Amino acid sequence: MSITIKDVARRLNLSITTVSRAIDGYDDVSEETRHLVIQTAHEMGYVPNQAARQLRRKRSDTIGYILPADQPRFSDPFFAEFIAGLGDEASMHGFDLLVSTAPPGSSAEHQAYERWTHGRKVDGVVLNRIQLNDWRVQYLARAQFPFVTLERSLDSCDYPSVEVNGRLWFKKLLDHLVSLGHQRIAYIGASPNLKIQADRLAGYRDGLAQHNLAYDASLVLEGDLTSEGGYRAGEHLLNLPKPPTAIACVDDMTAMGVLHIARQRGRTVGKELAVTGFDGIAGFEHTQPPLTTINQPVYQMARCLVQMLADQIARKPLPEKYVQIEPVLEIRQSTVGE
């Protein structure tokens, strides 16, 4: 078995109270004793039992995040970067990061949140892939459980969040495409109850309207934020009697799939057929051809979220509850090539 605080206390002929308080840095234990305790504890390889500590302290020093993995080969690099950001900032605040995978909306997801919050397995959670009306937001807000979100839902709850103005920046992509002369611009989106879909589609429509282009429902398709989804939707668009000259995708992964089908069909992507993404995943500047996209600082956003969550858990007042992040329009060959 492991070394416990009792073993340390016995070795030093001290009470466990004193050992505990020495290590925790209370000032009602002499410097001499404290030094001795810490020294001995270290020598004996004592590490506090986390479960006991959690039980007593009523906190777990852990934050939770559920990866929206809805398919087996889930390799969206967005999440590698996002998790790295969460993890780094978490450990900076002395938190561990608990990750679960569950298809969005599944009962597995429900159960995980219930176990985590009611069972006090985590002190707070990070949400993303927010829906317009999101049960998680409502559930956590009602339970008064600390949480933060990437993108805001429309629920009228008060909670900290980080957001990119998807509507505004998607419109900038449209401006860019129109400035290149495109008139038939398609849109491949995501599930309509997703916040990013609503925002980005709105940006798409704003863009059309501003340049007096008609909204053509046959050019607006639903993907699923994967390259497969983009592939299928792209295929459909290229099969149209009068296909679009530009395809604006809701995210980079979707755009990835479009590039794939375009190449298979022998369509060189660039000026003639333009494709755009949204996310700016590091490493995706090497796609075929390099992808014009909106570049979000995913790592920073993740860290910012954890920062706010940590403050909330510590009941510190937040300097600002609603952080707006400025991305960058990255123009590459997929719209201006060849």
Residue whose CB is less far from DNA, 35 or 263: 35
* Residue of 39, 38, 21 whose CA lies nearest to 29: 21
- Kindly report the length of the chain: 338
Q: 77-92 and 298-313 helices cross at what angle (nearest 10)?
A: 40
Q: For the chain, how far is it from start to end, CA to CA, in angstroms?
A: 68
x/- track of binding to a second copy for residues 219-248 (CB under 8 A): --------x---------------------
56 counts as binding DNA under rule CB under 7 A? yes
**Which residues have C-beta within 8 Å of that of residue 194, sequence separation ≥ 6?**
129, 130, 131, 132
Cα–Cα dist 300/297, whole Å: 5
Position 328 contacts a second copy (CB under 8 A): no
**x-marked contacts with a second copy along 96-115 as a string, rule CB under 8 A:** xxxxxxx-----x---x-xx
Determine the size of the site formed for DNA (CB under 7 A): 31
By C-alpha distance, which of 184, 185, 182, 150 is closest to 166? 150
User: Segment near DNA (CB under 7 A), from 27-35, 181-189, 286-294, 312-320?
Assistant: 27-35
Place of tokens 């390259």: 227
DSSP string covering 96-148, please?
EEEEEE--TT-HHHHHHHHHHHHTTS-SEEEE-S-BSS-HHHHHHHHTT--EE
20 part of the interface to DNA, by CB under 7 A? yes
Q: Please name the residue that has the structure tokens 């969040």.
A: 161
Q: Pick one of DNA, a second copy, none as the site partner of residue 4 (Cβ within 5 to 8 A by kind).
A: DNA
By C-alpha distance, which of 181, 232, 224 is closest to 335? 181
- List the one residue from 21, 115, 121, 167 that touches DNA (CB under 7 A): 21
**14 interface partner picked from DNA, a second copy, none, CB below 5 to 8 A per type:** DNA
Cα gap 174→288, rounded to integer Å:
21
Report the residue number, 14 or 256, with the smaller CB distance to DNA.
14
- Is 144 a binder of DNA (CB under 7 A)? no
Q: Out of 104, 105, 270, 290, name the contact with a second copy by CB under 8 A.
A: 290
Residues that bind DNA (CB under 7 A): 1-6, 13-18, 20-21, 23-24, 28-33, 46, 48-49, 52-53, 55-58
Residues that bind a second copy (CB under 8 A): 2-3, 45, 47-52, 54-55, 60, 62, 67, 69, 72-81, 83-84, 87-88, 91, 96-102, 108, 112, 114-115, 118-121, 227, 253, 256, 259-260, 281-283, 285-290, 298-299
